[in-house]
């Protein structure tokens, strides 16, 4: 006997208006077709990018981090089953463009809008007020249901709590992946981390996993530096308000690195004005990485680039889902990657504004929207 054909489902969702605001409203998510999968969301991480997306073209279903259970599958999906726990990945690889063939799925032509197959509202997934609306990164995880391409999903082990797994698909991957994949930090090397929020703490853990000898955490908040120490920082330094040019911080880093500067420095503050700041902390021939996806014009002194320094702006930690997500899950199981301690508060969808306010104030490392507390 065939299973009944899935139908569209109502879904409460956070919808951005493109003018800095949002509302929680009922939407309709259609049944999956082809290689699509509909996911019943369990939990979704709250990220600075979600706040930025409030000003993207609306209406837009917000959210791009999440985990949940397979609710329905299209006829071309055979590797996932209903009820299976899955992680959602916002940089969805097509698998056949040039970047994907080179294991750079995070740079997929389709995701970057360079392919004729790039998703559009012309093929509606979610409807609101009888109109098709877009979803953040073609996911829209601040919703009870999300309809996505099957390539966006990675199976999760049943023992990994959903409210922890949901943050792997952005900030954790960005931080850890930038160390392991983009910088390729080696055992015995030195690392500076500027900014100890969720991404910065993930960088620190990635550096510890890589075997870095010195991991120097820099931040203005004492509590952030205390968290950094617990995550694996070997040294911490509080940046004072009167050290806007980082002269004291640079001097401290050099005192810890034989006067040369660090091998690597990662900027993870989310402030575009600090995009070039990591160049100040590295040695000649060192590598500076800007992780926060800063937008806008920023000026820098060419002296900061002297000599043979490299400057990278890695996207999503160079994520290749088949390679990287199993690693993250294994490191969690082995106790090398601590995700649970990074999550400082859970919220309901109706508390999304509060979650964003807490994130912007720095009172949270990571907030998570939980849709079904009985099942996560």
Give the domain CATH number at 117.
Answer: 3.90.180.10
pLDDT over 70 (residue 376): no
Same domain, 27 and 139: yes
Same domain, 223 and 281: yes
pLDDT tens string 257-300: 999 999 999 999 988 889 999 999 999 999 999 997 767 788 88
Residue 156, pLDDT score? 97
Residue 281, pLDDT score? 98
Same domain, 87 and 209: no
Same domain, 105 and 188: no
Phi and psi of 311, rounded to 5°? Answer: -125, 120
Domain count, the chain: 2
Decide: 217 and 284 in contact? Cβ < 8 Å. no
User: 192 pairs with which residues across the strands?
Assistant: 216, 265
* Structural domain contains residue 2: no
- pLDDT above 90 as % of the chain: 80
* Structural domain contains residue 327: no
* Structural domain contains residue 328: no
Residues 179-207: what's their mean pLDDT?
Answer: 97
> Which band of pLDDT confidence, cut at 50, 70 and 90, is reported for residue 363?
confident
> Which band of pLDDT confidence, cut at 50, 70 and 90, is reported for residue 120?
very low
DSSP string for 76-141:
T--S--TT-EEEE-SS---SSSHHHHTT-GGG-TTTTT-STT---TTS-SEEETTEEEEEGGGT--
Same domain, 285 and 153: no
* Structural domain contains residue 332: no
pLDDT tens string 16-65: 999 999 999 999 999 999 999 999 999 999 998 999 999 999 999 999 99
Q: Please indicate whether residue 117 or residue 19 has the higher confidence score (pLDDT).
A: 19
Same domain, 193 and 155: no
pLDDT over 70 (residue 5): no
Residue 121, pLDDT score? 44
* Structural domain contains residue 47: yes
Closest CA to 18 of 53, 50, 42, 45: 53
Q: Please indicate whether residue 10 or residue 96 has the higher confidence score (pLDDT).
A: 10
Same domain, 179 and 157: no
Provide the residue range defining the domain that includes 252: 173-316
Same domain, 97 and 56: yes
Residue 123, pLDDT score? 59
pLDDT tens string 229-248: 999 999 999 999 999 899 99
Closest CA to 187 of 212, 221, 157: 212
Residues 208-222: what's their mean pLDDT?
Answer: 97
* Structural domain contains residue 184: yes
Average pLDDT value over all residues in the chain: 92
pLDDT over 80 (residue 117): no
Q: Please indicate whether residue 172 or residue 322 has the higher confidence score (pLDDT).
A: 172
pLDDT over 60 (residue 97): yes
Residue 373, pLDDT score? 61
């Amino acid at each position: 006997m065939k299973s009944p054909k899935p139908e569209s489902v109502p879904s409460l969702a956070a919808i951005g208006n493109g003018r800095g605001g949002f509302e929680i409203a009922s939407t309709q998510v259609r049944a999956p077709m082809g290689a699509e999968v509909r996911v019943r969301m369990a939990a979704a991480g709250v990220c600075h990018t979600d706040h930025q997306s409030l000003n993207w073209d609306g209406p837009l279903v917000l959210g791009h981090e999440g985990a949940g259970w397979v609710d329905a599958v299209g006829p071309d999906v055979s590797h996932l089953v209903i009820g299976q726990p899955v992680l959602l990945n916002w940089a969805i690889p097509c698998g056949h463009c040039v970047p994907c063939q080179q294991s750079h799925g995070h740079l997929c032509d389709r995701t970057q809008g360079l392919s004729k197959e790039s998703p559009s509202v012309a093929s509606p997934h979610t409807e609101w007020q009888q109109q098709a609306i877009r979803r953040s990164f073609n996911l829209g995880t601040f919703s009870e249901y999300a309809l996505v391409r099957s390539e966006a999903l990675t199976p999760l082990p049943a023992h990994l709590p959903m409210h922890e797994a949901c943050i792997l698909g952005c900030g954790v991957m960005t931080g850890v992946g930038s160390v392991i994949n983009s910088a390729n930090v080696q055992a015995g090397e030195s690392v500076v981390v500027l900014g100890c929020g969720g991404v910065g703490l993930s960088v620190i853990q990635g550096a510890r996993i890589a075997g870095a000898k010195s991991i120097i955490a820099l931040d203005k908040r004492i509590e952030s530096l205390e968290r950094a120490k617990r995550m694996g920082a070997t040294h911490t330094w509080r940046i004072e308000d009167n050290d806007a040019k980082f002269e004291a911080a640079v001097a401290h880093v050099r005192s810890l690195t034989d006067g040369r500067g660090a091998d690597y420095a990662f900027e993870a503050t989310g402030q575009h004005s600090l995009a070039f700041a990591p160049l100040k902390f590295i040695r000649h021939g060192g590598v500076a990485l800007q992780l926060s996806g800063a937008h806008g014009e920023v000026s820098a002194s060419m002296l900061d680039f002297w000599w043979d320094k490299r400057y990278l702006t890695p996207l999503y930690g160079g994520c290749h889902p088949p390679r990287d997500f199993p690693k993250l899950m294994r490191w969690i199981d082995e106790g090398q990657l601590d995700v649970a301690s990074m999550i400082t508060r859970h919220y309901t969808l109706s508390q999304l504004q509060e979650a964003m306010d807490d994130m912007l104030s720095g009172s949270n490392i990571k907030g998570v929207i939980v849709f079904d507390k009985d099942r996560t």
